Amino acid sequence: MTAPSADSASLPSPADVGFEITARHGERARAGTLTTPHGEIATPAFIPVGTKATVKAVLPESMSDLGAQALLANAYHLYLQPGHDLVDEAGGLGRFMNWPGPTYTDSGGFQVMSLGAGFQKVLSSEFSGGAKARTANGEDDAVREGKERLAHVDDDGVTFRSFINGDVHRFTPEISMQIQHGLGADIMFAFDELTTLMNSRGYQEQALERTRLWAIRCLAEHARLTAERTHRPYQQLWGVIQGAQYEDLRRQAARDLGAMDVEGWSFDGFGIGGALEKENLGTIVGWVTEELPENKARHLLGISEVDDLFVAIAAGADTFDCVSPSRVARNSAVYTRTGRVNLTGAKYRRQFAPIDEDCDCYTCTHYTAAYVHHLFRAKEMLSSTLCTIHNERFVVRLVDRIRASLLSGDFDALREETTGAYYGSPR
């Protein structure tokens, strides 16, 4: 592939991984196979999130049974607790959590900047004035009203306070690579600066240039660590495309990172990150995928809504992650064919039928909605387990159906049928 050939066949090398397109539809949609040392991922694929090396309330075995092909954990959380050195000592993320399949870690940038500065809500198009942009030290700053600013970005990295105990920490591109190599996931992401839709155009340009320079440093550190850590299989590094809502910035970032070469090392795939307005999702992903190399996989960070999945896949995205299916499940919200519903509602008290008649998940094939309603009312822990299994299966299965439709040429028919049927659903 694109990196220097290994001196010996036993050394970890980008040649051990790859992405092959198996079907195409329309201008940009594709199905493919992503190869990692821990197995293949058939794409498009939904990648469930296990923030702290666990999908909350669910066994890894259950995630495998419901069809999850890979899991994504967060570098920031695992760095703070239990520490990447400990995960490394345990044999890496997959072995530590008893998940034999492929794993992803994010770079930590999103959490460091969004949790640190308390501006997570601002990323969403639902932003309704609960935060305000303000100028501090001559730079744009977006801090949620009433929140202390806990992250500071400079050209070398980010200084932030731990959400656990307030201790001060610092991430740089090199530190993010060291953490992610220690965690040992198959797919890692380059450290990038997260901006919001509220930042000025001038600030977006500065941040994008910083992200480009950080990407170069990530590749260099990744090359160094790969050569040093020969006891582990090759870990892929994917570059992250930022640029907010600006076409020229998104395209430039995709061209820069797509062609980036640091002493023979290039990115194995790409993430599309940052502020994405729901109404422009397809357009923005389309700008980026048009510029990126065709033969490398693209991951869209943080989406799981039904209509968004179709839009993103049509625009050329291959994998997706989102914490929503498990997060809302713990609050008794479940996805169904007719939309998202709350199981604590009185109408479920005597629904002696599955949550969704159409669902083939373990929960729906073994338990009634009335039972799960009771568990929530009685505040029993099993409620979270059963609902998480249902919601994760719902999204995984939908993306499986989309993949099948790309292979059979029925994508448009499925999109029409499903978008109508699921109208107003999962949020």
Alpha-carbon distance 64 to 288, whole Å?
Answer: 32
Shortest spacing between CB 312 and Zn ion, in angstroms: 24
| CB of 210 or CB of 390, closer to Zn ion | 390
Shortest spacing between CB 43 and Zn ion, in angstroms: 23
> Rounded to the nearest 5°, which phi and psi values hold at 294?
-60, -35
| CB of 225 or CB of 359, closer to Zn ion | 359
Catalytic-role residue among 88, 106, 186, 192: 106
Task: Reply yes or no on whether 156 is catalytic.
Answer: no
Rounded to 5°, angle at Cα 325 from 297 and 328: 150
**Burial 107-136, CB ≥16 within 10 A → b, else e:** bbbbbbbbbbbbbbbbbeeebeeebebeee
| CB of 214 or CB of 376, closer to Zn ion | 376
| CB of 65 or CB of 277, closer to Zn ion | 65
Shortest spacing between CB 386 and Zn ion, in angstroms: 9
Query: What SS3 class is residue 203?
Result: helix
| CB of 276 or CB of 387, closer to Zn ion | 387
The torsion defined by the Cα of 341, 347, 353 and 354, in degrees rounded to 10, comes to 20
| CB of 57 or CB of 254, closer to Zn ion | 57
Which positions lie near Zn ion, rule CB under 5 A? 359, 361, 363-364, 390
Shortest spacing between CB 357 and Zn ion, in angstroms: 10
- DSSP strand E in 121-225: where? 131-136, 139-144, 151-153, 158-161, 168-171, 187-189
Task: Reply yes or no on whether 106 is catalytic.
Answer: yes
Rounded to the nearest angstrom, the gap between the alpha carbon of residue 381 and the centroid of all alpha carbons in its chain is: 26
52, 44, 57, 41: which is closest to 390 by C-alpha?
57
Q: Which residues pair with 168 in a beta bridge?
A: 161
Tally the residues of the chain. Answer: 427
**Positive or negative torsion for Cα 368, 369, 371, 376:** positive
Q: Are 283 and 295 in contact (CB under 8 A)?
A: no
Q: Are 411 and 405 in contact (CB under 8 A)?
A: yes
- DSSP strand E in 101-214: where? 103-105, 131-136, 139-144, 151-153, 158-161, 168-171, 187-189
Catalytic-role residue among 141, 256, 268, 321: 321
Q: Are 396 and 68 in contact (CB under 8 A)?
A: yes
| CB of 124 or CB of 351, closer to Zn ion | 351
Shortest spacing between CB 424 and Zn ion, in angstroms: 19
Q: Which residues pair with 226 in a beta bridge?
A: none
Shortest spacing between CB 390 and Zn ion, in angstroms: 4
Shortest spacing between CB 336 and Zn ion, in angstroms: 9
The catalytic site residues sit at 106, 321
